[in-house]
Amino acid sequence: MDDKNKHQFVCLYESKECPFRKLSDADCSWTGTLSDIAAHVRSDHSSEAIQDVRRFKVKLLDISKESHYRQAVLILGELFYLTWETGSDVFSFAVSHFGRKDEAEDIKYKIKIGSSEENVSMTRQCHSYLQGGLKNLQPGNCVTLHYGTLLEYLSESGDLLCEIEIGSNRLNVFLSEDMQECLPVFSLMYSKLHFIRRSYFVPRLGNSFHPFIPHFS
């Protein structure tokens, strides 16, 4: 086993603390391996995570030049962390996958910023949490936009609406375009270390949610 593979093997099985303890100062003493984190979040932090939705919208409240937002997302039992930051006149967004690097390389995410009339859309490859944790907000590793350009897409109240989709090339399933108006919307507010989420109208398709990871062409 070469040094690179040995390092990944150690990272996969070494004990890690609950990500909510680090990100939102939650009083959680849980520790476990990377593969166990998703089950822990679904069991003990389900109210703090967006779960099993095909595509969704996030409204960033009161965005400013020094804003930081985080959101956990569970899809098909896999855990992702969404990270937004503004600073040094740059807006950055990335999605980290709590899994192996080779698994993350098969996953892409798409973000559309703005309204249905005026928006900008970008697609990037997901990165593994093992690749620098949640510190992948560097050009080339994430979506970046100049802060001045970002201001063009804010609502009159200063909020930013983001439509997000996380997908894998392994599956070929999309949400139909006529369902756009029914997408669930989650609002995020940044306040010191605590991230407060308020959700609005989470629609059901039929009698239950239909979780999946859509395909990107």
User: Could you identify the residue written with the tokens 């680090």?
Assistant: 22
User: Could you identify the residue written with the tokens 């099985």?
Assistant: 13
DSSP single-letter state for residue 156: T
What's residue 168's pLDDT? 79
Q: How many beta carbons lie within 10 A of that of residue 169, not counting itself?
A: 13
Q: Would residue 100 count as lying in a domain?
A: yes
Q: Would residue 39 count as lying in a domain?
A: no
What's residue 68's pLDDT? 86
Nearest residue to 34 via CA among 168, 132, 166, 129: 129
- From the number of C-beta atoms within 10 Å of its C-beta (0-12, 13-18, 19+), residue 131 rates as middle
What's residue 169's pLDDT? 63
What is the count of structural domains for the chain?
1
Nearest residue to 162 via CA among 121, 202, 201: 121
Which residues in the chain come in under a pLDDT of 70?
1-12, 23-24, 54, 132-136, 138-139, 169-182, 189-217
What's the number of CA atoms in the CB half-sphere (13 Å) around residue 58? 24
Helices (H), 97-153: 101-104, 147-150
Range of the domain at 174: 49-200
Q: How far apart are CA 119 and CA 123, in angstroms?
A: 14
Q: In what order do the strands lie in the sheet with 56-60?
A: 119-125, 107-114, 160-168, 56-60, 185-191, 194-200
Q: Would residue 173 count as lying in a domain?
A: yes
Q: Are 201 and 185 in contact (CB under 8 A)?
A: yes
What's residue 214's pLDDT? 39
What's residue 175's pLDDT? 44
Q: Would residue 169 count as lying in a domain?
A: yes
**CATH number of 92's domain:** 2.60.210.10
Q: How far apart are CA 163 and CA 37, in angstroms?
A: 26
Q: Would residue 37 count as lying in a domain?
A: no
What's residue 196's pLDDT? 39
Q: Are 108 and 124 in contact (CB under 8 A)?
A: yes
What's residue 134's pLDDT? 57
Q: Would residue 8 count as lying in a domain?
A: no
Q: What does the pLDDT look like over 144-162, one tens digit per residue?
A: 999 999 999 999 899 999 9
Residue type, 198: R
Q: Would residue 43 count as lying in a domain?
A: no
Structure tokens at 79: 């855990």
**What b/e readout covers 12-40, taking b as 16+ CB neighbours within 10 angstroms?**
eeeebebbbeebbebebebeeebeebbeb
Q: Would residue 163 count as lying in a domain?
A: yes
